[in-house]
Chains A and B, each alone.
Chain A
Amino acid sequence: MTVLLPDSLDRACAQLADHPEAHVLAGGTDLMVEVNFGHRRPEAILSLSRVPELKGWHRDGDQLVLGAGVTYTELCDPEVAAVAPALAMAARTVGSPQIRNAGTIGGNLGTGSPAGDTLPVLAALDATVELVSVTGRRTLPIGDYCVGPKRTARDASELIASVTVPVARGPQEYLKVGPRNAMVISVAGLAAIADLEARTVAFGLGSVGPVPLRAPEAEAWITERIDWDAARLTHPDDADELGRLVAAAARPIDDHRATADYRRHCVGVLARRAITRMFSA
């Protein structure tokens, strides 16, 4: 087995082109588990730990550009939380300090699990994913990037360079259900993003479908029901109805962690609570 340790993004792309079979390694919180248990015995691993272009984030006008190597701990940083509160909330729910120090947003995207904690937030934010390879760059909307459970539109010759999200223009929430008070794989997750200027609300649903889902009917409906001038719900029952609509948008499955029934129920409750926190009646 070969370990590739490029020290620049260009070199990383070149090495990936030379070793298309290489598995890409960022924080190791997903890949190394598989290597340790022998589920994957890669011929080659491309470690991104030394690629400076992937580290750090910066603000570009009303956009926030996050390098793929930004860790969950960095996402919890108050400066990030100020402009992307739901991302910071989601990062805080991930694993443990050890996992948050190692796991990256790029890794979350690379694995593409519907239970990935940042993904519902990115979905609700209409994030765009930047992919690079020796042949150039392209950006994909998150909805086109996630195509199935642990399946993404990333070609094997591409690396995730960054993900871009709009700077917050209103209240945001992230809630995640798990059967223990820490260190849980999400059983149901919900991101809620309100844009007070555009007067829209978006929801990202996690762990209740093959990919992070949006809830277009629910979003359209609640957008009309919010008194935007007062930033409140017009009617206290609207939160209940929203919950029902969001639950209807979920496409969960039964597995050993939870039943589809419970997951759908949860995501409806989370939606009701999120909207109430953001726009109390």
Chain B
Amino acid sequence: MTDTTLTPPAIGTTTRAPRIGESAPRPDGIPKVQGRFAYSSDLWAEGMLWGHTLRAPHAAARITSLDIGPALRIPGVQAVLTADDVPGRRTYGLEIHDQPVFASDVIRYQGEPVACVAADHPETARRAAEAIVVAYEPLTPLTDAEAAIEAPAIHPDGNVVRHLVIRHGDPTVTGDVVVEGTYEVGMQDQAPLGTEAGMAVPTEDGGVELYIATQWLHVDQAQVAASLDLPPDKVRLQLAGVGGAFGAREDVSLQIHLALLALHTGRPVKMVYDRAESFFGHVHRHPATMWYRHHATADGTLVNVEARLVFDGGAYASSSPAVIGNAACFAVGPYFTPNALIDGWAMRTNNPPCGAMRGFGAVQTCFAHEAQMDKLAAALGMDPVELRLRNALKTGDTLPTGQVITGTAPVAEVIQAVVDVPDAVSPVLEGKPMALPGGAGRTADPEAVRRGSGFAVGFKNIAFSEGFDDFSTARVRLDRGVATVTTACAEVGQGFVTIAQQFTREVLGVDEVVLAPADTTIGSAGSTSASRQTWMSGGAVKAAAEAVRERMLALVAADHGVDPGVLRVEGDRIVSADGTVDLPVTTALGDRVVEETVEYHHAPTYPLDEHGQGDAHLSFAFVAHRAVVDVDPELGLCRLVDLVTSQDVGKVLNPLQLLGQLEGGAAQGVGLALMEEILVTDGTVRNASFTDYLIPTALDLPDLRVGELVEQPEPDAPFGAKGVGEPPTISSTPAVVAAVRAATGLDLPRTPVRPSDIALANRSAPSSPEAP
């Protein structure tokens, strides 16, 4: 930690609860370390049943017959439900309702739900699901996203989920130097440690209560209500403890099934996916194939960028329209170009459905544009960092969508902050065997190891875009010195609960801030995604707290016969400018209670027109990484030995929590660079387990070194703070792969890099014992 500017304050030195800018401890930390924190998989209810889902084994098939009789006859089985048991809308979806609650005539992806069961023991439920007799007529799956453009439709909505074109300036302009390449990103999985789980309890009024780990209570509520044919006020959702999300919980998984089972049996029903089922039960990151052509002048100024992006959205739409929208909007990267032509396709295939994953489209295009920038630098004979600095975006620049950046855009500062962190890696020859590539396998000889360094920069939007009415709701209540904050914001581990307390303390001057459970009795908080909650739900909390403060000051002003305008909250006291009023906030109101609810919207954004032009985004966050990787080229094994970052954060709200986001996001980016991929062949998943879907262990990552963070307050953001969750996943992957390219001299146009990509390419090259 010694190299980072984020040294947290010594523990236990503050005498009052931490405010903005301090490393407030999270309020749920103690129950979590004790194992007492109730995740959705820990729920229990008297008389509860266990649910289980029957899933299709084929990527594409027709269902020719379905017999639930054998399952119903198993002792302990209380319900077996299929598509015919859905009383309301039979399809659901985040943006487009194209996905069946249960498949009834056709299967479009491996693992598509066909039926579900409720029984008295999870083992009974599992056996009952297996006892259901389904006859399938397998079809040839459509698995090539490019071919899907022209192929016969596999869904009534067609195969093109979204096609957009961004045409900016004059895309026929050519440059003195032109570099071209085609890049691929494999299918990453969010792999949150907590699998899908929830409990549904039928209520006496014919409705249902759903305790669920999710990213967005209200959008789940709407889909459940629609399929159950119930009014939303009879479908009450409460957030249960969430074991991570990263996009996997934005779409409905078991919510509708659970609610149906509860209503059908009249009993509480709990469902927990095991890890294998979890891989089938949520959407993944879109695999992508991206062709690019960059044009620059001889001195390295970008003049035109052309790209064709084909994203494989799998069987159902999920959030593919927004993902390809993002990918296209950020396809050029954080660089200015006067001209661009971006052609973006989100396609439907019989591959596993894809949707939201941290980084949301920008991850894929960053991999491509950063590879291109390195290629361009090489062609120009220019330093790759210098090339990026030369073209870096800044406030006032126009993006390829025609939107002028009005907020902060400290790209050059972020790049410089990384550059300014000195190299600090010990030479390879000093490495202990466990620290060399191959780690515990003891395969590397130090002389065989080659070291390379890579640099990448990225960006994306904060909050929802393209005209989406993005808002959040918060209630703050001040009662005898204790503030209670209520939002429906889904805490998934990112630490919103801590920020909510810090914001409230800052505004109201009280130490004690209690968070009420998140549920649908209050208005929507929007999704925990798009790095938006600090701004949106934080903004709602701040606005509600400010409204409470205003009323509080008015009451206190009346108590003292002064104008409210002379009063302010300072620290933990209410004071007047002339010092005649000075009392603690905690007792100022006596037993008068003040409560305010605010629905907080951000400034409007606008759709993209037919040329991809429009002010589609609220704000942007920028990030850079520098990676050093040791490679054993003969075996193709890689070891990340150093990772440096800086990020455009607006304002550091909680140094320790921020560091956790930078480290965790970078780890996911490293995973996508070196080891994470859902392997799909003919629509069939080959590695639905942690044995073969590999996420980084503690031995796969070094300490993240954080350079000076760039704090340029974002004008409209609460406390000037930008969301920080996604950027760490964006430039980390390309930085690591660039380092591997430098170490090996190989093109490596695909991520994740597989050992054989390196080992077999190098096979014919003689080993030359150069010092690393």
Instruction: State if A and B touch, Cβ cutoff 8 Å.
Output: yes
Which chain A residues lie closer than 8 Å to B679 at the CB level?
A: 256
- A177:B756 contact, CB within 8 angstroms: no
- A179:B442 contact, CB within 8 angstroms: no
- B440:A182 contact, CB within 8 angstroms: yes
Tell me, in angstroms, the Cα distance from A230 to B226 when the chains sit together: 82
The reply to whether the CB of B286 lies closer than 8 angstroms to some CB of chain A is no
Tell me, in angstroms, the Cα distance from A266 to B637 when the chains sit together: 11
Count how many chain A residues have C-beta atoms less than 8 Å from C-beta atoms of the other chain: 33
Tell me, in angstroms, the Cα distance from A185 to B690 when the chains sit together: 11
- A177:B441 contact, CB within 8 angstroms: yes
Which chain B residues lie closer than 8 Å to A183 at the CB level?
A: 697
The reply to whether the CB of A40 lies closer than 8 angstroms to some CB of chain B is no
**Which parts of B113-150 form the interface with A (CB within 8 Å)?**
123, 126-127
Known: A37-B276, A257-B692. A265 touches B443 (CB 8 A): no
Set A36, A175, A276: member contacting B441, Cβ < 8 A: A175
Which chain B residues lie closer than 8 Å to A262 at the CB level?
A: 636, 755-756, 759-760
Distance of A205 from chain B, by nearest CB (Å): 14
Considering the complex, give the chain A residue whose CB is closest to the CB of B634.
A269
Set A175, A180, A187: member contacting B442, Cβ < 8 A: A175
- B691:A185 contact, CB within 8 angstroms: yes
The reply to whether the CB of A261 lies closer than 8 angstroms to some CB of chain B is yes
Distance of B98 from chain A, by nearest CB (Å): 30
Which A residues are closer than 8 A to B by beta carbons? 36-38, 89, 92-93, 174-187, 256-259, 261-262, 265-266, 269-270, 273, 276-277
- B441:A178 contact, CB within 8 angstroms: yes
Across the A-B interface, the 3 shortest Cβ-Cβ residue pairs: A181-B439, A176-B441, A262-B756
Which chain B residues lie closer than 8 Å to A174 at the CB level?
A: 442
Q: How many A-B residue pairs have CB under 8 A?
A: 90
Known: A177-B755, A179-B694, A265-B760. A89 touches B442 (CB 8 A): yes
Which chain B residues lie closer than 8 Å to A37 at the CB level?
A: 274, 276
- A93:B760 contact, CB within 8 angstroms: no
Considering the complex, give the chain B residue whose CB is closest to the CB of A273.
B445
Tell me, in angstroms, the Cα distance from A241 to B76 when the chains sit together: 65
The reply to whether the CB of B712 lies closer than 8 angstroms to some CB of chain A is no
Tell me, in angstroms, the Cα distance from A37 to B123 when the chains sit together: 10
The reply to whether the CB of B438 lies closer than 8 angstroms to some CB of chain A is yes
The reply to whether the CB of B699 lies closer than 8 angstroms to some CB of chain A is yes
The reply to whether the CB of B104 lies closer than 8 angstroms to some CB of chain A is no
Which chain A residues lie closer than 8 Å to B168 at the CB level?
A: none
Tell me, in angstroms, the Cα distance from A257 to B693 when the chains sit together: 10
Distance of B492 from chain A, by nearest CB (Å): 25
Known: A261-B756, A265-B759, A269-B634. A180 touches B445 (CB 8 A): no
- B696:A266 contact, CB within 8 angstroms: no
16 A-B contacts, Cβ less than 8 Å apart? A37-B274, A174-B442, A177-B438, A177-B755, A178-B441, A179-B675, A180-B700, A181-B439, A181-B700, A185-B692, A256-B686, A256-B692, A262-B755, A266-B759, A269-B634, A273-B448
Distance of A105 from chain B, by nearest CB (Å): 18
Known: A179-B694, A261-B756, A262-B759. A184 touches B441 (CB 8 A): yes
Considering the complex, give the chain A residue whose CB is closest to the CB of B691.
A185
Tell me, in angstroms, the Cα distance from A209 to B692 when the chains sit together: 19
Which chain A residues lie closer than 8 Å to B635 at the CB level?
A: 177, 266, 269
- B443:A176 contact, CB within 8 angstroms: yes
- B756:A258 contact, CB within 8 angstroms: yes
The reply to whether the CB of B754 lies closer than 8 angstroms to some CB of chain A is yes
Set B440, B445, B759: member contacting A92, Cβ < 8 A: B440
Which chain B residues lie closer than 8 Å to A182 at the CB level?
A: 439-440, 697-700
Which chain A residues lie closer than 8 Å to B441 at the CB level?
A: 93, 175-178, 181, 184, 186
